[in-house]
Amino acid sequence: MNLRAGTAKLDITPPAGALLAAFPRGPQRLARRAKGTLDPLFVRALSLTDNNTAVLLASADLCIIRWDSVLRIRHSVCERIAEITPENILIAATHTHAGAETSFLFGSTPDDPEVLSIEAKIADALVQAWHNLETVKLAWAKTSLPLSHNRRVQNEHGRSIMVMQENAQTCGPIDPDLLVLRLTDSTGAIKAVLYHYTAHALTLGPANDFFSADYPGYACRIIERTFPGSTALFCNGAAGNVHPVQCMRSDTEAL
């Protein structure tokens, strides 16, 4: 199989004062406003083709990607790449709770300039990844990484309650599997690492007022630093009630 791949990475961090996702405050449940940036938010894109089928994947440091945003991004990409079909453009959020407010649950709207800018950059990254295609080899592996817990626990009366810390008997499932896909170029250098794990990205907790990619962003930075020139993409699983261990920190020590 003649497999080719391309990558791209763009900064999507909004300016200070923009709305943060999740953890609304006050009786009106209004979104937090970012005081600044702890670590930048990125969209990382990967293109794959075997000359028969082409797939584009974007992983964005956001809490949520709405379906209407996906449709707009797909339309923008398909206008510029004739070889790709909309259903083969996959867009994922890392689910960082310190990303931009793109859910429109606590503020912002589809025509907000920051939202439109993020959507445009996601589309641009996908197009750039397509134009960076080169021959690659693929390898994959799976291991168990028990760094999560289920927030549904049993209290002393045997009832299920929700707690954010791992301090009681878990009564719900987790998915400890870490799946990794590695792409190397013709020289053997690592071009891309796509990895999948299941846990909410909220180690900083509701007290945080700064943009952050949380643990997925930290892991991506470590991979890209270890393998210079590579692009690391994180895809979250069905997190549901699954939280990272020692989550909901009130400071930035978790990063």
In tens, the pLDDT along 142-159 reads 999 988 888 887 777 877
Higher pLDDT among residues 143 and 30, named by residue: 143
List pLDDT tens digits, range 180-207.
999 999 999 999 999 999 999 999 988 9
Torsion sign across C-alpha atoms 251, 39, 223, 119? positive
pLDDT band at 255 (very low <50, low <70, confident <90, very high): very low
pLDDT at 155: 74
Confidence of residue 168 (pLDDT cuts 50, 70, 90): low
Q: What is the per-residue pLDDT for 251?
A: 40
Cβ–Cβ < 8 Å for 217, 211 = no
Element (H, E) at 90: strand 89-93
Q: Which residues contact 38 (CB under 8 A, 6 or more apart)?
A: 98, 204, 208, 210, 211, 212, 252, 255
| 200: its two tokens | 């909410």
> pLDDT-derived band of residue 243, with 50, 70 and 90 as boundaries?
confident
> What is the model's pLDDT at position 158?
76
- Asked if residues 66 and 23 have their Cβ atoms less than 8 Å apart, the reply is no
Task: Tell me the two tokens of residue 43.
Answer: 């969209």
**212, HSE (Cβ side, Cα atoms, 13 Å):** 25
CB 126 within 8 A of CB 90: no
Per DSSP, the three-state class of 96 is strand
Give the number of other Cβ atoms within 10 Å of residue 53's Cβ: 11
Mean pLDDT, to the nearest integer, of 237-241?
91
Residue 166 has pLDDT above 50, yes or no: yes
Strand 89-93 to strand 54-60: parallel, antiparallel, or no bridges (unpaired)?
parallel
Taking Cα atoms as reference points, which of 119, 115, 116, 114 lies closest to residue 91? 119
The per-residue pLDDT of the chain, averaged, comes to: 90
Q: What pTM value is reported for the model?
A: 0.90
Average pLDDT over residues 18-28: 88
As given in the structure block, the two tokens for residue 198 are: 């299941």
Q: Which two tokens stand for residue 203?
A: 């180690």
